[in-house]
């Protein structure tokens, strides 16, 4: 049954609704959300396995044929992203058990958490552009709630900014959908792709493509990331881990989907834009990561760098580069979730988020320190770890296309990432112990360490078994490189 | 007819953008409402404004107006309604907590001032 496709959306949705009835029973909320997250991971695994053996799965909701009804499409790219999102969701959920605090838990934290996963999974799976907008809004609404939950001054101030920027970008999204509907008269992505191919992508369709690029660039933090470093500094670290791992990635996914499935006919017009935005994102993100001396901001700028890096794969657009982009995107979801969890643990271990007030953590928290060190190497792309295969494929694809400048920027931004993370390690773990923080520090939440250890295991295994992972990634890359496969699967009789 | 509505949409957009760029939080929210009004009108206009019966089958008319954009607009209206309600409450709470509703007075990025 293809109904399996709807479960990654349905499971967290139903659980989130049920959780609303148990406001005061925090223990029950934790158990239910944990069960639901475990089931989500299982479903995603089964889904990935089935797509691996049977090819693209489609589900016409309500039984209406493809261009007329809403269709859910599970190709390998979507399935892998759903899997990564579920795994990170589980780890962050476990981390929040120990760190989020009873006051927030009582005010529907877990419901909002699960609604966010509904929006993310739905965005990955949908095959309809307006439905994509709706799932974006589901995701964003829960992110507003999670961002402002707790109501500190900083959170309120940053939520206002974040809310405003997302209202504007959502408005532009609807405008772009309106223009697209006016020029081709359909909303289904596969059907859109066929119609755009018939009309030939030129004139107004190019303008719409660039409008979509602006919309998703705003959401993904691609060049238009000015809102991101501030907004992601405000919420508690569990929420920040969820945002850093998932929210921007949905924007990146949409950019890749739109420019490989619908607007791929005129790369001469769209490519320079993507190229410029990817380069600027990598440079500015790298500079930001190096410039700051507090943990949240360093991590936030690291999110931005990786968005630029994945887009670089889309620009190069060779088979290698696309596979590399998929591999790197998957690695990045898991690794960024882990990075923010470890960042949160460092902050709670030292009682401050400023680097100058930290030092000597390695004596009291050796495990945390070495986990952070391994992760830093993985994010830069040191060979046995998961960041390496993606980066290698990306750089190779870029060089094949003769994009020497962009490849150099990619490598250079990796160095900046390395420097920014090792700076945390050097000052926070090796530096002299500060007297202030020894009084403040206590035991680390055990649940958080467990979640982080699980993610770290995935990062290491995905690097070591990259040959196995690659067999899935190349299947995803094949559909992205040949949109006809996607169209045939959706528009079959 | 489309031309007139396009001009109206343009005016709504420009006024909305102007208001969003102002200092007062309340004006910003009004600006976002105007912006969403504009975009809903845009969806309707873009689908074409040909004459026809309202999309109810009982009318037995030869031609109907396009029902799809109406459904899209309806969806978008409730979404933006929810977000606007949240924005108003957020602004109210911010006003109570910080004692100001002028966006310029918020010190930006206190973590960055090191």
Using one digit for the tens of pLDDT, what is the confidence trace for A446-483? Answer: 888 888 999 999 999 999 998 999 999 999 999 999 99
Residue A114 has pLDDT above 90, yes or no: yes
Distance in angstroms (rounded) separating the CA atoms of residues A475 and A471 = 7
How many Å apart are CA A205 and CA A213, to the nearest integer?
12
**Short-list A297, A335, A256, CA closest to A88:** A335
Alpha-carbon torsion B15, B16, B17, B20, what sign? positive
CB A192 within 8 A of CB A184: yes
H or E segment to which residue A71 belongs = strand A71-74
Average pLDDT over residues A382-407: 90
> Does residue A437 have a pLDDT over 70?
no
| DSSP secondary structure string for all residues of A165-204 | HHHHHHHHHHHHHHHHHHHH---BHHHHHHHHHHH-S-TH
C-alpha A66/C-alpha A32 separation (Å) is 35
Cβ B39–A181 below 8 Å, yes or no? no
Cβ-Cβ contacts under 8 Å, A164 against chain B: 20, 28, 32
Residues in CB range of A94: below 8 A, 6 or more apart: A34, A447, A448, A450, A451, A454
Rounded Cα–Cα distance for residues A117 and A82 (Å): 9
pTM over 0.90: yes
Whose structure tokens read 């900083």? A154
CA-based radius of gyration for chain A: 21
Would the CB atoms of B39 and A296 count as touching at under 8 Å? no
pLDDT in tens, A130-178: 999 999 999 999 999 999 998 888 899 899 999 999 999 999 999 999 9
With 80 as the cut, is the pLDDT of residue A21 above it? yes
The pLDDT of residue A439: 53
Q: Do A61 and A490 contact (CB within 8 A), yes or no?
A: no
Q: Which chain B positions have a beta carbon within 8 Å of A181's beta carbon?
A: 43, 46-47, 68-69, 72
Distance set, CA A157 to CA A153, A162, A168, B95, B103 (Å): 6, 9, 17, 10, 9
Chain B residues in contact with A167 by the CB 8 A cut-off are: 32, 35-36, 80, 83, 87
Within 10 Å of residue A416's Cβ, how many Cβ atoms? Answer: 22
DSSP A349: H
What mean pLDDT do residues A375-384 have? 89
Q: CA-CA distance, A42 to A11, in Å (whole number)?
A: 11
Percent of chain A with pLDDT over 90: 73
What distance in Å separates the CA atoms of residue A478 and residue A262, rounded to the nearest whole number? 16
> pLDDT at residue A216 above 60?
yes
Main-chain dihedrals φ then ψ at residue A186, nearest 5 degrees = -155, 165
Across the range A175-201, mean pLDDT stands at 92
CA distance A431 to chain B (A): 19
CA dist A369 and A348 (Å) reads 13
Cα angle for residues A50, A51, A57 (degrees, 5° grid): 105
The answer, yes or no, to whether residue A44 has pLDDT greater than 70, is yes
Instruction: Please list, in sequence order, all residues whose beta carbon lies within 8 angstroms of the beta carbon of residue A394, skipping any fewer than 6 positions away.
Output: A309, A312, A313, A316, A320, A321, A324, A325, A328, A410
Mean pLDDT of A10-14: 95
Residues of chain A in Cβ contact (below 8 Å) with chain B: 130, 133-134, 137, 141, 144, 148, 151, 153-154, 156-157, 159-160, 163-164, 167-168, 170-171, 174-175, 177-179, 181-182, 187, 229-230, 233, 292-294, 296-297, 353-354, 356
d(CA A11, CA A86): 11
Q: Residue A118 corresponds to which tokens in the numbers above?
A: 């509904």
Query: Is residue A303 within 8 Å of residue A228, measured between CB atoms?
Result: yes
Instruction: Report d(CA A312, CA A276) in Å as an integer.
Output: 10
DSSP structural state of residue A381: T
Q: Which segments in chain B show pLDDT lower than 50? A: 108-114
CB within 8 Å: B42 and A293: no
Tokens read off for A147: 């961002």
- The pLDDT tens digits of the residues spanning A347-366 come to 888 888 888 888 888 888 88
Both structure tokens of A198: 């018939």
Q: Higher model confidence: residue A340 or residue B108? A: A340
Give CA–CA dist A121/A249, Å, rounded.
11
Distance, in Å, from the CA atom of A394 to the CA atom of A250, rounded to the nearest integer, reads: 20
Is the per-residue pLDDT at A75 higher than 50? yes
Decide the pairing of beta strands A71-74 and A57-60.
antiparallel
Phi/psi of residue A151, nearest 5 degrees: 65, 35
Cβ-proximal residues to A429 (8 Å cutoff; 6+ apart), any chain:
A360, A361, A362, A369, A372
C-beta neighbour count of B36 within 10 angstroms: 23
- In chain A, % of residues over pLDDT 70: 98
Q: In chain B, which residue's Cα lies nearest the Cα of A352?
A: B111
d(CA A226, CA A238): 22
User: What CA–CA distance (Å, rounded) separates A393 from A419?
Assistant: 23
Distance from CA of B43 to the nearest CA of A (A): 5
H or E, element range at A60: strand A57-60
Structure tokens at A182: 């006016």
The tally of CA atoms less than 13 A away on the side-chain side of residue A467 is 0
A201 versus A271: the higher-pLDDT residue is: A271
- For residue A198, what are the contacts with CB-CB under 8 A and spacing of at least 6? none
Chain A residues touching residue B105 (CB < 8 angstroms): none
pLDDT of residue B112: 39
């Amino acid at each position: 049954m293809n109904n399996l496709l709807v479960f990654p959306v349905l499971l967290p949705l139903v659980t989130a609704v049920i959780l609303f009835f148990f406001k005061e029973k925090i223990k029950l909320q934790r158990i239910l959300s944990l069960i639901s997250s475990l089931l989500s991971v299982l479903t995603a695994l089964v889904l990935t396995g089935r797509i691996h053996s049977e090819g693209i799965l489609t589900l016409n909701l309500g039984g209406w044929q493809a261009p007329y009804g809403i269709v859910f499409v599970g190709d390998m790219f979507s399935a892998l992203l759903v899997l990564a999102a579920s795994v990170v969701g589980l780890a962050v959920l476990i981390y929040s058990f120990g760190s989020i605090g009873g006051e927030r838990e009582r005010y529907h934290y877990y419901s909002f958490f699960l609604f966010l996963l509904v929006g993310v999974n739905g965005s990955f799976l949908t095959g309809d552009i307006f439905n994509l907008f709706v799932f974006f809004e589901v995701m964003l609404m829960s992110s507003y709630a999670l961002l402002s939950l707790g109501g500190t001054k900083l959170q309120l101030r940053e939520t206002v900014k974040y809310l405003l920027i997302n209202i504007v970008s959502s408005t532009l999204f609807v405008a772009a959908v309106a223009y697209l509907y006016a020029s081709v008269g359909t909303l289904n992505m596969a059907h859109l792709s066929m119609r755009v191919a018939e009309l030939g992508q030129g004139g107004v369709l190019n303008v719409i493509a660039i409008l979509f690029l602006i919309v998703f660039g705003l959401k993904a933090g691609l060049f238009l990331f000015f809102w991101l470093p501030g907004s992601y500094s405000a919420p508690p670290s569990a929420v920040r881990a969820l945002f850093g791992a998932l929210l921007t990635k949905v924007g990146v996914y949409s950019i890749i989907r739109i420019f490989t499935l619908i607007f791929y006919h005129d790369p001469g017009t769209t490519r320079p834009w993507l190229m410029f935005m990817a380069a600027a994102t990598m440079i500015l993100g790298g500079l930001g990561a190096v410039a700051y001396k507090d943990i949240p901001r360093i991590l936030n700028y690291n999110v931005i760098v990786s968005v630029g890096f994945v887009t670089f794969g889309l620009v190069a657009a060779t088979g290698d580069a696309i596979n590399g982009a998929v591999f790197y995107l998957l690695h990045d979801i898991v690794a960024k979730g882990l990075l923010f969890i470890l960042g949160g643990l460092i902050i709670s271990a030292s009682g401050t988020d400023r680097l100058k007030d930290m030092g000597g953590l390695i004596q009291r928290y050796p495990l945390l320190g070495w986990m952070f060190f391994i992760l830093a190497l993985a994010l830069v792309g040191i060979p046995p770890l998961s960041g390496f295969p993606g980066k290698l494929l990306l750089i190779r694809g870029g060089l094949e296309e003769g994009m020497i400048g962009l490849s150099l920027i990619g490598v250079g931004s990796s160095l900046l990432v390395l420097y920014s993370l090792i700076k945390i390690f050097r000052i926070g773990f090796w530096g002299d112990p500060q007297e202030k923080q020894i009084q403040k520090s206590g035991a680390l939440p055990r649940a958080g360490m467990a979640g982080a250890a699980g993610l770290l295991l995935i990062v290491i295994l995905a690097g070591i078994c990259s040959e196995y992972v690659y067999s899935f990634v190349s299947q995803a890359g094949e559909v992205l490189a040949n949109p006809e496969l996607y169209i045939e699967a959706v528009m079959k009789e | 007819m489309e031309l007139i509505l396009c001009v109206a949409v343009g005016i709504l957009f420009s006024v909305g953008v102007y208001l969003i760029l102002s200092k007062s939080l309340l004006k910003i929210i009004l600006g976002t409402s105007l912006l969403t009004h504009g975009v809903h009108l845009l969806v309707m206009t873009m689908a074409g404004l040909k004459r026809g019966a309202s999309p109810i089958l009982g009318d037995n008319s030869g031609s109907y107006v396009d029902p799809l954009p109406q459904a899209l607009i309806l969806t978008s209206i409730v979404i933006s309604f929810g977000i606007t309600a949240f924005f108003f409450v957020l602004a109210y709470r911010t006003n109570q907590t910080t004692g100001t509703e002028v966006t310029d007075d918020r010190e930006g990025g206190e973590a960055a001032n090191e």
